[in-house]
Amino acid sequence: MASKYYIYIVSNRSKMIYVGLTHDLKNILSKHRELRMRCAKGNFGLNKLVYVEEYYDVNQAVKRESELKQASRLLKAKLLSFSNPKWECIQDYWMENLERAVVK
């Protein structure tokens, strides 16, 4: 089975944004929730998953992460408002689908 890579965006109540790349979405979200991230924004309560993209090619995933990280905050906010207008946490939905994919 091919590895999947995830571009994800987490946010907080103040709508701060962090863009990341991982191959282990469940683990990285756990770290965000427990505020154990070792990143500049790791201690700002960025623990609400609001956006995810899946990739099978790590090079495409790295390129997309770079694009999003270099994009203005306004552009990222527009992307989120289009795909998740209320900026609701979608972690439960993704975790449920990840578990189903592993079972198959």
Q: Which residues pair with 19 in a beta bridge?
A: 9
**What is the second-level CATH architecture of the domain 5-103?**
3-Layer(aba) Sandwich (3.40)
List the single range of 4-8, 45-49, 58-62 with lowest mean pLDDT. Answer: 45-49
Q: For the whole model, what pTM was predicted?
A: 0.84
Phi, psi (deg, nearest 5) at residue 3: -70, 150
Structure tokens at 47: 């623990």
The answer to whether 53 and 64 have CB atoms below 8 angstroms apart is: yes
What is the pLDDT confidence band of residue 86, given thresholds at 50, 70 and 90? very high
| Every domain of the chain and the residues it spans | 5-103
Q: Given this model, what pLDDT does residue 47 score?
A: 84
Q: Given this model, what pLDDT does residue 103 score?
A: 42
Condensed to tens digits (0 to 9), the pLDDT of residues 23-50 reads: 998 888 887 777 666 655 445 778 899 9
Residue 11 CB neighbour total at 10 angstroms: 23
